[in-house]
């Protein structure tokens, strides 16, 4: 590797480290804000059942957001470890540099966009340990929530069409019926 290539690589690595450290600091500050807001929610003395229910939902929401942010902090720390080892920002498949734009959008990316697309198309990339949770799975509806239609001879519905006002009693008048469709005339060639 030439001196210029080493310098460029070191500059890129330092830029990626700075990006991760900045993201880690922002995420840490967000965790602190969420914990403060959660403490405020707990301290409020709710008045009625609706206020208590809303306060409970707010506390649970903050707890979930805190858990996600702490998980993000863990992944950022792992990525910083990869920076120290010289593996961060290098595609695990093709060994080429992962675009900085991709790393900005998904700092935990292990594959470049092209290799990730190939893996996804070939059936890899989901739930095989190549991406972090919760980004590694595609959500599907649980079996107990899937509605199974029951078809029987008795369940067949008959569709009837009525013309006229739905508020009129009795049969609709003939004038309320639409004109029958006319067949188009054949064209002369």
pLDDT at 127: 47
Q: Pick the more confident residue, 144 or 13.
A: 13
Q: What is the chain's mean pLDDT, rounded? A: 75
pLDDT at 139: 59
Q: Pick the more confident residue, 123 or 13.
A: 13
Give the separation between CA 82 and CA 23, rounded to whole angstroms. 15
The string of pLDDT tens digits covering residues 25-40 is 999 999 999 888 888 7
> Are the CB atoms for 106 and 125 separated by under 8 Å?
no
Class of domain 3-138: mainly alpha
Tokens of 112: 């470049």
Among 55-59, 140-144, 159-163, the least confident range:
159-163
**Radius of gyration of the chain measured on its C-alpha atoms:** 31
CA nearest neighbour of 130 among 87, 174, 168, 93: 93
The string of pLDDT tens digits covering residues 72-112 is 899 888 888 888 888 888 998 999 989 888 988 888 888 99
**Residues contacting residue 66 through CB under 8 Å, at least 6 positions apart:** 31, 34, 35, 38
Q: What angle do CA 77, 78, 79 make, to 5 degrees?
A: 90
Classify residue 164 as left (phi > 0), alpha (psi -120 to 50) or beta: left
């Amino acid at each position: 590797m030439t001196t210029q290539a080493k310098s460029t690589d070191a500059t890129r690595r330092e830029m990626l480290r700075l990006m991760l450290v900045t993201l880690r600091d922002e995420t840490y500050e967000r965790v602190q804000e969420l914990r403060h807001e959660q403490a405020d929610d707990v301290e409020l003395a709710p008045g009625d059942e609706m206020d208590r229910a809303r306060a409970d939902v707010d506390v649970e929401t903050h707890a979930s957001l805190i858990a996600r942010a702490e998980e993000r902090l863990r992944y950022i720390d792992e990525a910083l470890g990869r920076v120290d080892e010289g593996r961060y920002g290098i595609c695990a498949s093709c060994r080429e540099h992962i675009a900085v734009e991709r790393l900005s959008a998904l700092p935990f990316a292990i594959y470049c966009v092209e290799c990730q697309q190939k893996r996804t198309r070939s059936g890899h990339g989901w739930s095989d340990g190549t991406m972090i949770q919760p980004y590694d799975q595609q959500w599907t509806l649980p079996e107990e929530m899937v509605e199974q239609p029951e078809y029987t001879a008795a369940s067949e519905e008959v569709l009837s069409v009525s013309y006229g006002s739905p508020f009129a009693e009795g049969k609709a008048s003939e004038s309320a019926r639409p004109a029958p469709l006319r067949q188009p005339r054949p064209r002369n060639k």
